[in-house]
Structure 1
Amino acid sequence: MPGKNKAMEVLLSRASTDRLIAPAPKGAVLMQILSTSLRAPDHGRMRPWRFVTVTGKHRAAFADLLVAAMRRTDPDMKSAKLEKKRVRYAEVPMTIILGMDLHPDAKIPVDEQVMAVAAGAMNVLNALHAAGFGGMWVSGAFQNDETFRKMLGFTREQKIAGFLQVGTVEGRAVTSNRPDIDLYHARWKGDPVAFGADK
């Protein structure tokens, strides 16, 4: 029977959380965490990852930009929801904006380029957890707002895959009940498989 594997324990104990307080990673620690994204599978070496970090006094201005994008995307959105988002992004210790530099005309399908971004983001979430921090990946239709993307420095061709809200987990370690992997795994033996999760 295999012995204890610390890396495996870290991976299996990660869970998303929005219970985040200061501090967030910075300096060499942050750069090491972000560097894990570059270890994700990247067919064709497209290097599609783009990260923008927002911290400190700039959080409030970013929250304003985000809320303005939400208003443009959904003019009927309730003020209470907009204010909740404003407060959240102004107070979370760090937001990492997940940019995607995609090339539709490349030999590598866009779907694979997007998957490389997603795999890189997951590496970052795992690295945050391994380094003693917490994070949660969030997204919304507003992230496609052209004015919003332009104000952040993304070109017309570059997209946003979402936002990692980052900080130190407040209180006890986060736990999350996960389903049994047997529901999502099947052994192929020549005939079509069936998944327990699909029943």
Structure 2
Amino acid sequence: MSGAAAAGKPPVFDADFLRAFDALLRWRRDVRRFRPDAVDPRLIETLAQAAALAPSVGNSQPWRFVLVESAARREAALASFLRCNAAALEAYEGERARLYASLKLAGLREAPVHLAVFCDHETAAGHGLGRATMPETLDYSAVAAVHTLWLAARAHGLGVGWVSILDPAEIAAALDVPQAWRLIAYLCVGYPQEEHEDPELERAGWQARCGVAFDRR
């Protein structure tokens, strides 16, 4: 990338940058195995600032970040995961159930940072622009912030795990957030124990990555 951006001109993303960006996308992983090393709080702030550059419907910026530092609240998240994970296991049978039970699906015990991301459904920012016909775009905006944070974390050598096997109502209650906030993601953040280009679920035999094909109409 050229230095033109510093002079107020749009940057030129050269071939080296594009190769590095492609590598960033390929090496972004859902991490469940973390080292216990502490993460500098300033780095987490840097990631949040990067996430705030994500697109949002009507410039609503509805994302709300909650650092979960209380041991009791972390335990509540873990308890919710354990209950929901046990219930999810019951939906499978035979070999698929055995495989599911063998998977490590969260790093809640090991991750030094727990970060909950909510969408504020009562935000006044944006004045409702763009979401009258598709109100779900408010949630999609928060999802875009999560993905932006995820890529930024990988670029800084951190791993992120998105824990979706949780009861959103239990998490909202445990964190005592405003009623209008909807849980979008509960993230574990820290330095990964190991790094792989292929997803862990693919290595474990659960599901291979699917290619992309256009449906032409």
Query: Is TM more than 0.5 here?
Result: yes
Whole-angstrom distance in 2 between the partners of 1:70 and 1:129 = 24
Query: How many residue pairs end up in the alignment?
Result: 173
The equivalent of 1:106 in structure 2 is 128
Question: What is the aligned-residue RMSD (CA, Å)?
Answer: 3.3
Indicate conservation of the 8 Å contact 1:62/1:90, yes or no: no
Give aligned-pair identity as a percent.
Answer: 19
Where do 1:76-95 residues align within 5 Å?
Answer: 88-95=107-114
Which has a greater percent of helix?
A: 1
Whole-angstrom distance in 2 between the partners of 1:77 and 1:4 = 44
Where do 1:40-51 residues align within 5 Å?
Answer: 40-51=54-65
How far did residue 160 of structure 1 move? Answer: 0.7
List per-residue Cα deviations over 1:142-196 (Å, max 9, x = no partner).
1123xx413413111111112111111103x222167475x3336x5xxx1xxxx
Structure 1 stretches lacking a partner, 5+ long: 79-84, 193-199
The equivalent of 2:193 in structure 1 is 170
Q: Which amino acid aligns with 1:118?
A: V
* 1:142–1:7 CA distance, 2 compared to 1 (3 A): same
Whole-angstrom distance in 2 between the partners of 1:93 and 1:184 = 39
How far did residue 129 of structure 1 move? Answer: 0.3
The equivalent of 1:195 in structure 2 is none
* 1:4–1:185 CA distance, 2 compared to 1 (3 A): farther
Runs ≥4 residues deviating over 6 A: 70-78
Where do 1:1-199 residues align within 5 Å?
Answer: 3-5=15-17, 6-55=20-69, 58=70, 60-66=71-77, 69=80, 88-103=107-122, 106-107=128-129, 108=131, 109-145=134-170, 148-171=171-194, 173-176=195-198, 179=209, 181=211, 183-185=212-214, 188=216, 192=217
Q: Which amino acid aligns with 1:65?
A: A
How far did residue 74 of structure 1 move? Answer: 10
SS of the residue corresponding to residue 121 of structure 1 reads helix
* 1:128–1:24 CA distance, 2 compared to 1 (3 A): farther
Whole-angstrom distance in 2 between the partners of 1:29 and 1:90 = 21
List per-residue Cα deviations over 1:108-135 (Å, max 9, x = no partner).
2421111100000001110110000111
Indicate conservation of the 8 Å contact 1:24/1:166, yes or no: no
* 1:120–1:74 CA distance, 2 compared to 1 (3 A): closer
The equivalent of 1:196 in structure 2 is none
Q: Which amino acid aligns with 1:175?
A: E
TM-score scaled by length of structure 1: 0.71
Whole-angstrom distance in 1 between the partners of 2:145 and 2:26 = 18
TM-score scaled by length of structure 2: 0.66
